[in-house]
Amino acid sequence: MARVKYRYDQEDDVLMVFLGKGKIDDAQQSGNIISHLSAKGELLLLEILNASKFLKETSEVFPKEVKQQALAS
């Protein structure tokens, strides 16, 4: 499995969780979560909208530095 990478866009309050490499072929949204999939159905990227609210409501799933950056806005 590829190393998970995170990027937070403070202006849009979106947390991107990169789970794999490859070309994104499809995207599906459920609530504030957008899943980006390859043509084979592999999950490549998760976008979490309204990330600061989401991170306040979740447990310690995300690294401390990711939560601190999102919650500082």
Domain residue extents for the chain: 5-71
- If you average pLDDT over every residue of the chain, what do you get? 85
Model confidence pLDDT, tens digit, residues 40-62 = 999 999 999 999 888 777 756 66
Is residue 62 classed as helix, strand or coil in its secondary structure? coil
Model confidence pLDDT, tens digit, residues 9-39 = 999 999 999 999 999 999 999 999 999 999 9
- What is each CA distance from 6 to 19, 31, 40, 50, 66, in whole angstroms? 9, 20, 23, 15, 7
Instruction: Provide the whole-model pTM.
Output: 0.76
pLDDT of residue 67: 64
21 vs 69, more confident: 21
Secondary structure string (H, E, C) spanning 5-34: EEEEECCCCEEEEECCCCCCCEEEEECCEE
